[in-house]
Amino acid sequence: MSTIIYTHTDEAPALATQSFLPIIRAFGKHADVQFELADISLAGRILAVFPEFLQENQRIPDALAQLGEYVLQPEANVIKLPNISASMPQLNAAISELQSKGYAVPNYPSNPQTDEEKDIQARYDRIKGSAVNPVLREGNSDRRAPKAVKNFAKKYPHSMGAWSADSKSHIATMSSGDFFHNEKSVTVQEPTTVKFVFTDKSGKQSELRKPLKLLAGEIIDATYMSKKALIAFLQEQVKDAKNQGVLFSLHMKATMMKVSDPIIFGHAVKVFFAPVFEQFGDKLAEIGVNVNNGFGNLLAGLEKLDSETRQAIEAKIAEVYAQNPDLAMVDSDKGITNLHVPSDVIVDASMPAMIRNSGRMWDKNGKAIDTKAVIPDSSYAGIYTATINFCKENGAFDPTTMGSVPNVGLMAQKAEEYGSHDKTFEIQTDGKVEIVTENGTVLTSHEVEAGDIWRACQTKDAPIKDWVQLAVNRARLSNTPAIFWLDENRAHDAELIQKVKTYLADLDTNGLEISILAPEQACSASLKRMKDGLDTISVTGNVLRDYNTDLFPILELGTSAKMLSIVPLMNGGGMFETGAGGSAPKHVQQFNEENHLRWDSLGEFLALAVSLEHLAQREGNAKAQVLADTLDAATEQLLLNDKSPKRKAGELDNRGSHFYIALYWAQALAAQDKDADLKATFAPVAEKLASQESEILAELASGAGKAVDLNGYYFVDADKVAQAMRPSAKLNAVIDAL
Ligand SMILES: NC(=O)C1=CN([C@@H]2O[C@H](COP(=O)(O)OP(=O)(O)OC[C@H]3O[C@@H](n4cnc5c(N)ncnc54)[C@H](OP(=O)(O)O)[C@@H]3O)[C@@H](O)[C@H]2O)C=CC1
Ligand SMILES: O=C(O)CCC(=O)C(=O)O
Ligand SMILES: [Mg+2]
C-alpha cells in the first residue's frame, strides 16, 4: 500500500471532505493507494498542543508537527486543503467552543504574568494566524489554471462588473515612512549568527529576540513602518474618502502578517473612531479593549461598563458614523463593517472581488459604491493601482477572450515577509535597531520611535535557486514568456535580482522570453497581454505569489478555487494544495441555514489527480497512473456537463458534484484499456451509479432548504457532519461496497 496524506481542515473544505474522502478511499484501494487523514484543523491544533490539560481519551497527536517532518522526506505526498488562519477573535471562539464541550484547554492569556502563562501564550501564538502553510511549504509554488478549466471559463463566463473611466474607486498607499521606503537589505557571504540589538536614547542595549543563524548566501532585510507617518496617512485618507464621497475600506493580511498587520489594523480603528478614543480611551483601556483585534472587540467590551458610560460611548460612536465617510461593509444586514474583525477582509481575496464588482464595495444599505481601498504599505499596493487604472482605461476584462497569468512563487523555507512574524516588533521607546553579526559588523541600522513596527525578513539562497529553476521549467514546458516581478529600486529586490541573474545564466534559457520588471510595470504589461488573449507567467516573491494567485484567477475564472496549486517539495516529495483560496466561511453559514454547500471541490479533484500521478511515477504504480488519467478525464467531463455546485439551495451542491465525479471517474475507468482489473471493477460501478442517477440526486437534495445542526463550528460533531454530508443511502451503498 502507498499512502497519500489528506488533510482535515476547517469550515467548508472540512465539510466537503466528509463526502469526498469515502469516495477516493474506495477508488484508491483498487490501486493500492490509501488515504490517511491528518487533523490540522484549528481545533485539532489547539488540542494537540495542550495534552496536559486534557483527559487521556481527549488527547490527539500533533499532526502538524508530524507533517512538518514528513514534507522533508522524499516520499512525502500531501493533499493540503485550505485551513483557518485564525485571528484573535477566531482563536478565542475556538477555545470557548472546546471548553464548552468539556475540553479544559486554557484561556488565551492576553496579559501573561507567570512563566506558565507566558508558555501558554507562546503555544497559542504558534497556532494563531497563518501557522500551517509556512510549516508545510518546503517547496516553491506553481499555481495555474489547467487548460480544461480555462476553456470552461471561456465557454461559460462568470459575471464581470462594468468599469468606466469616471469611477472614483482607487488605491491609497503611503509615499514615505512605510516598510517599502525604509527597507535595507544585505546578502551575507559566510554563515553567521546575528543579533537584533535595540539601543535606547540613554545608550542602554537589549536584544529584541534570540540570535538567528544565517546561512551563506542568505538575504536579510530590515525595515520599519513609522507610527507617526502611518497615522498621518490614515487621517488624511479618512478625510479624503469623506470629501470624495467614497467608502473607506482597509485591506490587510492580518492573518499571515500576524504581528505587524493587526497593529496597523488597530491604528486604523483608532484613527477612524478617534473622538471615541479621545474621550473614553482610559475607560476602554481599563476594561482591556484591544482594537488590534478589530472594532468588534470594543463593542463586545462595552458590556463590561455601567449603562451610563456605555450609552455615552455608543452616542459618540453614532456621532463618528454620522461625521465620517461610510465604511465598506462585510455584512450590511448585521451592521458588520470592514473594521470589525481583522480576518474578515483579507487583501488577496478582497481586492480582486472588489475589482470584479466594478471597483465597488457594499455600504450600510447593501448598495455597491465606489471605494477608497486603503493598503498602507506601498511595497505591493501598486499592482492593484495598475489593475484599477487598466480597468478605468479599458473597461472590464472579458473572460471569454482574456489570457492567463499563472504564477511561480518563491515561498520555500518561509521565504520573505510571510516568514517574518518571529522577527517583527512593536518598538517600545525611541532608539535604534541594528542587526549585528557575531564579529560585530552592523548589517542594518534604523533610527526608530516608540510605536514604530520594525521587522526583519530572511530569504535563503537554496529556495531562490530552486525558484528560478522552476520558473525556467514552467516557461519552457508551457512555452510562455515569464516576468520576474522585482523592483531594482527596492532594497530587497535589488539583492534578489543579482541572484536571479546569476542563476538564470547557469540555466538553458535559449529561446525563452524572460524579463525583470518592477511589480506595477510587470502588472500593467501582463494585464495588457491578458486583454489581448496572451499568457504571461508571473514569477514573484511570496507576498505577490499570494496576491497574484487570487487576483488573476478571480478575474479569469471567477474564483481561485479552480486553480492547480502544486508545491514541488525541495527534497523530492510533492504537496498538492487544493485551489488557491481559503476556507469560505460564508459557505458554512449557508450550509447551516439551508443545508446547501456551494463549495466547489474542483481544486480537490485537480490536486488529487496530480498527487496520484506523482505517486505513480515515484513508485512505479501503473494503476495509480490510470486513476490519475481517468480522474482528469472525469473532471473535464464534469466541467463540460456543468456539474459544479451552484449557489442556491435546491440546486446541485458540493455533494451532487461529488456524485458526478464518482460517476464520470468510474465511467472513464470502465472505458480505458490500460488496466483490465480496474476496468472490470469499475464497469459495474459506473452502471449502478448511472442507472440510479435521479434517485441519488433526490436523496442528496432531500434536506435542501432546512437548517442543519452540526453542534459547533470549529469542533463539529463528526457523526452529524458525516450524516449530513452523506445523505444518499444508494450512493453510499455503491461506494462502500467497492
Ligand atoms: N491555503 C490556505 O490555507 C488559505 C487559507 N485561508 C483562510 O481562509 C479563510 C477565509 O479566507 P477569505 O479571505 O475569506 O477567502 P476565501 O477564499 O475562503 O473566500 C472568498 C470567497 O471566494 C469564493 N470561494 C473560495 N473558495 C471557494 C470554493 N472552493 N468554491 C466556491 N467558491 C469559493 C467564495 O465566494 P462566494 O461567497 O461568492 O461563493 C468565498 O466567499 C481565512 O481563515 C483565511 O485565513 C485563505 C487563503 C488560503
Ligand atoms: O496561510 C494563509 O493564511 C493564507 C495562504 C494564502 O492565502 C495563499 O497561500 O494563497
Ligand atoms: Mg492567498
User: Where is the binding site for NADP(+), in residues?
Assistant: 80-85, 133, 582-583, 587, 598-600, 647
Cβ atoms 412, 380 nearer than 8 A: no
> Which pLDDT band holds residue 419 (cuts at 50, 70, 90)?
confident
Span 207-224, pLDDT tens digits = 999 999 999 999 999 999
Q: What is the pLDDT of residue 451?
A: 98
Residues whose CB is less than 8 angstroms from the CB of residue 64 and which lie 6 or more positions away in sequence, other chains included:
38, 40, 45, 48, 131, 132, 135, 136
Per the structure block, which three cell numbers stand in for 574? 510533492
Atom of ligand 2 nearest to the CA of 546: 10
Starting from the edge strand earliest in sequence, which strands make up the sheet with 564-568, in order?
33-39, 2-8, 77-80, 574-578, 564-568, 141-144, 407-409, 537-540, 482-485, 514-517
Residue nearest to atom 7 of ligand 2 (CA): 546
Mean pLDDT of 493-502: 98
CA of 115 to the centre of ligand 1 (A): 37
Residues 255 and 99: their CA atoms lie apart, in Å, by: 24
Angle formed by the axes of helices 88-100 and 42-49, nearest 10°:
70
Cα torsion 581, 140, 408, 37: sign: negative
Cβ atoms 168, 245 nearer than 8 A: yes
Is the pLDDT score of 582 beyond 90?
yes
Residues 250 and 374: their CA atoms lie apart, in Å, by: 5
Is the pLDDT score of 554 beyond 90?
yes
* Mean residue pLDDT across the chain: 97
> Which pLDDT band holds residue 204 (cuts at 50, 70, 90)?
very high
Span 558-580, pLDDT tens digits = 999 999 999 999 999 999 999 99
CA of 506 to the centre of ligand 3 (A): 31
Residue among 637, 579, 611 nearest 31 (CA): 611
Residues 200 and 428: their CA atoms lie apart, in Å, by: 9
Does ligand 2 have an atom closer than 6 angstroms to the CB of 85? Answer: yes
Is the pLDDT score of 508 beyond 90?
yes
Cα torsion 483, 488, 491, 494: sign: positive
Side chain identity at residue 593, one-letter code: E
CA of 581 to the centre of ligand 1 (A): 5
> Which pLDDT band holds residue 78 (cuts at 50, 70, 90)?
very high
Does ligand 2 have an atom closer than 6 angstroms to the CB of 554? Answer: no
Q: What is the pLDDT of residue 321?
A: 97
CA dihedral 457, 463, 467, 469 (to 10 degrees): 150
| Mutate which of 7, 83, 133, 344 for ligand 2 pocket (most atoms within 8 A of beta carbon) | 133
Round the CA-based radius of gyration of the chain to a whole number and report it.
26
pTM, 2 dp = 0.96
User: Where is the binding site, in residues?
Assistant: 80-85, 130-137, 143, 348, 545-546, 550, 582-583, 587, 598-600, 647
3-state secondary structure of 58: helix
Atom of ligand 1 nearest to the CA of 255: 45
Residue nearest to atom 45 of ligand 1 (CA): 85
Mean pLDDT of 651-680: 98
CA of 478 to the centre of ligand 1 (A): 28
The domains of the chain are located at 2-138+569-736, 170-178+227-394
What backbone torsions phi and psi does residue 381 show, to the nearest 5 degrees?
A: -60, -25
Span 361-406, pLDDT tens digits = 999 999 999 999 999 999 999 999 999 999 999 999 999 999 999 9
Span 277-312, pLDDT tens digits = 999 999 999 999 999 999 999 999 999 999 999 999
Side chain identity at residue 711, one-letter code: N
Cell 481561485 belongs to which residue?
560
Residue nearest to atom 1 of ligand 2 (CA): 130
514-517 and 482-485: which strand pairing? parallel
Residue nearest to atom 47 of ligand 1 (CA): 582
Span 325-371, pLDDT tens digits = 999 999 999 999 999 999 999 999 999 999 999 999 999 999 999 99
Q: What is the pLDDT of residue 378?
A: 97
Residue nearest to atom 8 of ligand 1 (CA): 582
